[in-house]
Amino acid sequence: MSSSGQWERIRGGVVGTFQPLSAVPQEPGSGMLKLSDEHAELTFIASDDHLDGERLPVECSAVFGETEVGDVLMLSIAQRSSSWGGFPTARYRSRCLVLDPAVDDIDGDTVIAVQLRYYGLSGWAGDRHLKDEPVVEDGRIVGWAAELRWHAGTAAPLDEGFTLRFSAGHSVTGPFDRRTLTAPLVITIESEDRRSIDEHMMRLDAVHALLAIAHRVTPTASSGGAKLSESQTGYCPLWERTMISLDPLGDTTHEFPYLKLDKFGGVEAVASWVRLVVQHRRAVEPVVRHALFSNQTPEARILSTAAAMEYWVGSNARTREWAKKRAGEDLPGALARNVDPSWLTWVGDSAQWVKEFWKAYLDLKHFRNAPADPATIHALEMSGRWLLTAVLLDHCSGSSAPSQHLFTRGLDTLGRHVREELWGTPER
């Protein structure tokens, strides 16, 4: 059975025997595993040994199961609960699920590599590794030739023994007369030794968040993989609740991103971004959260965006000249001075914008004056968020190339909306 068929069966629910991998060995219990958009949920008949002193399922790093569609490994356990009726049951919910792991390779929740596979990201995929061309004989096209190769890609070191890798994958599917060739962008986090999958996923999540910022519509990975040990050949199929969609592959492409990989600075800049997320989450989180979750009020967004600005300027104030306070200048002015000058024309009137943004923030923070019009708050917050984003991207790139591209090309339409709302004219 193909992995897509296995996932489909698990969505509907599969039965099997399941064993929590805890400090004290547990006996397997019979139960059902089901996959939803939010989590993988396992419910099984529990004995007293399966429950702790609070009558909850025992804490464990992972749950191994033998099911009707193959072996599974639940990782990133998020919730535990139990219920009582005719039979006591234990319930685990997890954020990750791995298919067909080799039993001998399992060691708790540890892995050596995790990857995501994306389609439609031509601006971030690097060199093209699918070669196809017509076969010409006697001046006529008599066929078509295609060659698809795996490519090791480009790697960059992260922190604590982790490595980021951008590469090209390949797959060939379909019956003999309807073959389908694909060459996805593969983003992998590798570690020197076995580490918790949560440590890998945290760094992959940072890359996924960067892709969300860089594109008009948030990309989702079509599949994922986990490698449990060095001896393992290939990757086990992986599901993760926020970054991977198991829905059929559509025709969605992301041909016109706000920012492409070459304008950002390549894989080295992405690695710098991952390190930034790990070390300075308070600066990055609002930028990412607002891109991924749009159902927030403008007032809530501007409060968190401004707080992130305060954190980033404050964390650099002792070592960076641009972050040092200037007399009579509100805090966002430091950020406005630290991006490409194209910001000045993009926003229309930078000096006035700094005053308006900071006044709106302080009024909301300290409950001063009547609230500003939500449309104005939205324009201030959106432009402020992209200013902070540009500063952070420039920091990772080591140049002003990202902010120059954003404020001259990538965000051109948004700039017109901002200027029209704040100053009454869309013109620069």
| In the block, residue with structure tokens 């049951």 | 89
Our separate counts of H helices and E strands in the chain read 12, 16
Is 140 a domain residue? yes
Does 231 lie in the same domain as 156?
A: yes
The range of the structural domain enclosing residue 355 comes to 281-423
Does 287 lie in the same domain as 393?
A: yes
Is 404 a domain residue? yes
Rounded CA separation 278/285 (Å): 11
Is 266 a domain residue? no
Does 289 lie in the same domain as 419?
A: yes
Does 133 lie in the same domain as 76?
A: no
CATH of the domain at 19: 2.40.10
Which of 74, 100, 126 corresponds to the end of one domain?
Answer: 100
pLDDT lower than 70: segments of the chain: 85-86, 127-130, 150-151, 250-252
Is 254 a domain residue? no
Does 232 lie in the same domain as 177?
A: yes
Residue type, 379: A
Helix/strand/coil for 402: helix
Per-residue confidence (pLDDT) for residue 127, from 0 to 100: 66
CA distances from 120 to 188, 224, 378 (A): 17, 16, 30
Q: What is the pLDDT of residues 243-287, one digit of tens each?
A: 998 887 766 677 789 999 999 999 999 999 999 999 999 999 988
What is the residue-wise DSSP string for 232-273?
Answer: --S-EEEEETTTB--SPP-S----S-SS-HHHHTHHHHHHHH
**Measured in whole angstroms, how far is the alpha carbon of residue 257 from the centre of its chain?**
16
Q: What is the pLDDT of residues 31-88, one digit of tens each?
A: 999 998 889 999 988 887 788 877 788 889 999 999 999 999 999 999 888 887 667 8
Is 183 a domain residue? yes
Is 154 a domain residue? yes
Does 7 lie in the same domain as 90?
A: yes
Does 149 lie in the same domain as 50?
A: no
Rounded CA separation 389/287 (Å): 7
Is 330 a domain residue? yes
Does 313 lie in the same domain as 417?
A: yes
Is 257 a domain residue? no
Nearest alpha carbon to residue 106 among 49, 60, 63, 42: 63
Per-residue confidence (pLDDT) for residue 250, from 0 to 100: 65
Q: Quick one: 215 exposed, middle or buried, by C-beta within 10 A (0-12, 13-18, 19+)?
A: buried
**Could you give the number of structural domains in the chain?**
3
Rounded CA separation 279/392 (Å): 13
Q: Is the pTM of this model over 0.75?
A: yes
DSSP state of 410: I
Does 139 lie in the same domain as 225?
A: yes
Does 142 lie in the same domain as 228?
A: yes
136 and 142 in contact (C-beta within 8 Å)?
yes
For residue 147, the number of C-alpha atoms closer than 13 Å in the C-beta half-sphere is: 7
DSSP state of 408: I
Does 212 lie in the same domain as 287?
A: no
